Amino acid sequence: MTVKIVTDSTADLPPGLAEELNISVVPLKVHFGEEEFLDWIDLDSDNFFEKLAGSGVMPHTSQPSPADFVKIYREIAAESDQLISVHLSAKLSGTYQSAVIAKSELKHLDIEVIDSGLASMALGIVVIEAARAAKAGLAKEDIILQLKDNMAKVKVYFAVDTLEYLQRNGRIGKAAALVGGLLNVKPLLTLSDGVVAPKEKVRGKAKAQERLIDIIGEELGEEVRGKAVVLHGSELNRALLLKEKLENRYKFSEIFISSIGAVIGTHTGPGVLAVGVLPE
């Protein structure tokens, strides 16, 4: 029995990794006025942020339709007996619900649809581990148990330049409490119960970066081990520096660097820097 992992484009997987691990990715859409783009297909991260900077239009996003999922599930069924479909938090998007509807139309297929309660590479890192487990030949039930365990453990902390994009797109969640405040104050946010939640406020980008590093030790312990990911929105140099500092301080077995894609970037805006940790 072969198990296939499916996710959506908001997992923001590093380029080439989905193909390497045989992960199928269903794209969400980004709209600039009348223009429509498929996340990570028509627009990669750099092109999106360049377009965002040069456009007077505030983009918005839309989920895949159930028909999009039906199409990909049918294609996968030709090569795999069992599907595990893991998606962006249902509290942030209707993507999960589209997948559930598609499953209901394909009752003859063995499909498990999971609401991760996560976003971006917090979702991506648990999907990567599930795909590795599938590649190693683990049974579907064991992969699902691993997924749920990892979903409960993974942590993500991110700094945004402004809350404007989250607010305008209606994804601000509990972080609404941070709106306003002093000049040059950078909000640090996290995901809690599937929604964006406030962590704290710091002054300036440099301090925000240092706090992202310190929070890991405070929340997970200085001896934390496991996997980590550094995410950025058109901030590669800062991301590389953050990765180096994480390597110097903690004993992670693997640290990914990935860009925030167009869909997540629509909600966060440019200048995002984030750290995700999947502890052992």
Region 138-143 average pLDDT: 97
Residue range 190-223, pLDDT digits in tens: 999 998 888 888 888 888 899 999 999 999 999 9
Residue range 57-116, pLDDT digits in tens: 889 999 999 999 999 999 999 989 899 999 999 999 999 999 999 999 999 999 999 999
Whether the CB-CB separation of 159 and 230 falls below 8 Å is answered with no
Q: Give the strand pairing for 155-159 and 273-279.
A: antiparallel
pLDDT tier at 266 (50, 70, 90 boundaries)? Answer: very high
Taking alpha carbons only, the member of 69, 231, 255, 215 closest to residue 160 is 231
Whether the CB-CB separation of 116 and 88 falls below 8 Å is answered with yes
pLDDT tier at 175 (50, 70, 90 boundaries)? Answer: very low
Q: In what order do the strands lie in the sheet with 35-38?
A: 35-38, 29-32, 60-62
Q: Which pLDDT belongs to residue 1?
A: 65
Cα gap 259→277, rounded to integer Å: 16
Cα gap 5→244, rounded to integer Å: 31
Distance of CA 249 to the CA centre of its chain: 24
Q: What domains, with CATH codes, occur in the chain? A: 3-28+63-152 (3.40.50.10170), 155-279 (3.30.1180.10)
